Every structure is written in C-alpha cells, then in structure tokens.
C-alpha cells in the first residue's frame, strides 16, 4: 500500500536522525547496534474475545530500530495489540510478520522480549538469577551469570546482584525486570505500561534509562502507555488506537536528548490529549 510505503520512508528517516543525535550525546558500542532490530508488519489484524471484537482490521508497519508508542483509552485494544505482536495471543484474523536483520525471523533469533506492568520477578531467585532467566538456558552457567551481571550494571544495580527481590524498592525491581528483558540482546522490546506503578520521579529516571539503552542497543521498541507525556518524551512515532483501529499516526520530530517541558513536545501532547478527550 502506498500509504504504508510512505510511512515506512518517513519513519526510517526519523530513526536515522535520532540515531545521529544519540551518537553525539553518548558513546555507544560500535558493534552490531542498529542492525539488530526486528521489523513488524501487521496486515488486516482482527482479534475478538468471546465474540467481542477488540482489534478490527488494524494495519501497521514498525520499522526495525524505531521507538513507537501506542496510546489510547483503557479498553481500546492497545495492550491486546502488543500481546498479539509478541505472540501471547493468537489473532482471530489477519497476519503479523516479524523480520529480523537476516530476513524472515527464524525461531527466536534475535529474541522478542516484554516488560510487564509488574516486575514479575521470581521471589525465590536472587536478583542476578532473575536476570539470567532472560537468557533462557543459553551458554554455560558461568557465562549466563557474567552476562546477567553486565546487564545489571547497565541498569545501575550491580551491587544488588546477590539480594532477594523482596528487599528492593518498586523502581529497583522494575530495573531488574528491564535488565532481564535486555540481557539476551532482543530485537524487539515490548513495554506494556511498565512504569505505571512507579512514582513520578522514579518514572522519569526509568524513562531516561530506557531511552539511553534503546539508543545504545538499537532494538525495535514498542511502548504501550496511557501516559501521553511519557509517549511523547520517548517515542519517535505515536499511534493513537481507538475502537481496535489506529485513529492517529504522528511522528515526533523533536531531536534527542529531549528536554522535559519542550514546547514542541507540549504542543504534541496537547494535540493527542485533545483527540483522546474530544474523540
């Protein structure tokens, strides 16, 4: 479809821009990053639960390495869309294609990962072992531990490796969950309102952390949120979902790193909120 093609062009441009801005701001690991993203194509997607339609004929293309936010009122189908893309639900109709750096996606390379609203850490496993869960049995025990420790260091919790999750604060637990999601170097990271339960300051810290790691690693990020300010701060593209379809598809051209309270961001946020409240 022509529209799709145009959208694809536009999105990949935005991506390049933001990448360059990112490279200037923080030195990133030169290897592999940028080519690991998974591209997602959704065609005429339908999903209903007990005859009640939640997604109705949704089309979408997510370019590899982009950061897309999906916003909408509760019950609009945004979480279902994310779960469908992750393969946690089976579509009633239509298809979803995932494409990795080496063409069509074979089995789970690179893996897709999800961060839930709750940390969902195993309370009976030490923090480092919880992170190692993300490696799902790859390599030897020692290698897994080493990679888990590195991922913990990336989220700033290296000193908590030997602790039980029960001893951590809510924000720290969610950082452990982020480390677990990232330790396997995923090609697609889905974030299902992962910061919803955190206090305002912790949220901002987490947003910065997610953005920094996304820029360093170059995975495709898909964030579902009801916080429009969060979507605007993080994403380079925002989709507003209404009644199972995409009602609004907006690019966020503001260069990174973004300043909180930037007038462009505020204007965009206002526009989306008007749409959500007015519609």
Partner 1 sequence: MPASKLERLRDTAVPWLLPAAILLGWQAAVSAGLVSNRFMPAPLDVARAGWEAGRTGELWTNLGVSTLRALAGFVVGGGIGFALGLANGLSRLSERLTDTSVQMVRNVPHLSLIPLVILWFGIGEEAKLFLVALGVFFPIYANTLHGIRSVDPGLVEMGRVYGMSRTELFTRVVLPGALPSIFVGLRYALGIMWLTLIVAETISASSGLGYMAMQAREFMLVDVVVLAILIYAALGKLADALTRQLERACLAWNPAYRSA
Among 124, 139, 156, 170, binds partner 1 (CB under 8 A): 124
66 binds partner 1 (CB under 8 A): no
The H or E element that residue 79 is part of is: helix 78-86
23 binds partner 1 (CB under 8 A): no
Collapsing DSSP to helix, strand or coil, 110 comes out as coil
Residues 6+ apart with CB under 8 A from 10: 251
Length of the chain: 279
118 binds partner 1 (CB under 8 A): yes
Segment 7-13 long-range contacts (CB within 8 Å, at least 24 positions apart): 7/61, 7/249, 8/61, 8/63, 10/251, 11/61, 11/63, 11/66, 11/236, 11/237, 11/251, 12/63, 12/66
Minimum CB distance to partner 1, residue 172 (Å): 16
Minimum CB distance to partner 1, residue 89 (Å): 11
Site pattern 173..212 for partner 1 (x: CB under 8 A):
-------x--------------------------------
133 binds partner 1 (CB under 8 A): yes
d(CA 171, CA 53): 35
247 binds partner 1 (CB under 8 A): no
The size of the interface with partner 1 (CB under 8 A), counted in residues, is: 21
Among 10, 23, 53, 125, binds partner 1 (CB under 8 A): 125
Residues 6+ apart with CB under 8 A from 254: 262, 264, 265, 268
Among 3, 26, 44, 136, binds partner 1 (CB under 8 A): 136
- Tell me which residues touch partner 1 (CB under 8 A): 86, 88, 108, 111, 113-114, 116, 118, 120, 122-125, 133-134, 136-137, 164-166, 180
């Amino acid at each position: 479809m022509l529209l799709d093609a145009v959208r694809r062009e536009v999105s990949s441009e935005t991506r390049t821009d933001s990448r360059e801005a990112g490279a200037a701001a923080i030195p990133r690991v030169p290897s592999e990053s940028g080519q690991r993203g998974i591209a997602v194509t959704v065609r005429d997607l339908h999903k209903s639960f007990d005859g009640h339609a939640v997604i109705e004929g949704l089309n979408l293309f997510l370019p590899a390495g982009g950061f897309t936010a999906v916003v909408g009122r509760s019950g609009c189908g945004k979480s279902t869309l994310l779960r469908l893309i992750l393969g946690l639900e089976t579509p009633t109709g239509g298809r979803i294609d995932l494409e990795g750096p080496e063409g069509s996606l074979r089995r789970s390379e690179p893996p897709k990962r999800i961060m839930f609203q709750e940390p969902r850490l195993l309370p009976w496993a030490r923090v480092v072992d919880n992170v190692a869960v993300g490696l799902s049995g790859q390599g030897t025990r020692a290698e897994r531990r080493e990679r888990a420790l590195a991922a913990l260091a990336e989220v700033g919790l290296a000193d908590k490796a030997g602790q039980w999750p029960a001893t951590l604060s809510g924000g720290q637990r969610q950082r452990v969950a982020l480390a677990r999601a990232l330790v396997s170097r995923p090609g697609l990271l889905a974030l299902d309102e992962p910061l919803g339960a955190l206090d305002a300051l912790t949220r901002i810290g987490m947003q910065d952390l997610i953005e920094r790691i996304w820029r360093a690693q170059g995975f495709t990020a898909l964030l579902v949120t009801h916080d429009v300010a969060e979507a605007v701060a993080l994403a380079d593209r925002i989709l507003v979902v209404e009644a199972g379809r995409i009602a609004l598809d907006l690019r966020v051209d503001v260069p990174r790193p973004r300043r909180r309270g930037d007038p462009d961001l505020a204007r965009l946020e206002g526009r989306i909120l008007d749409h959500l409240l007015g519609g």
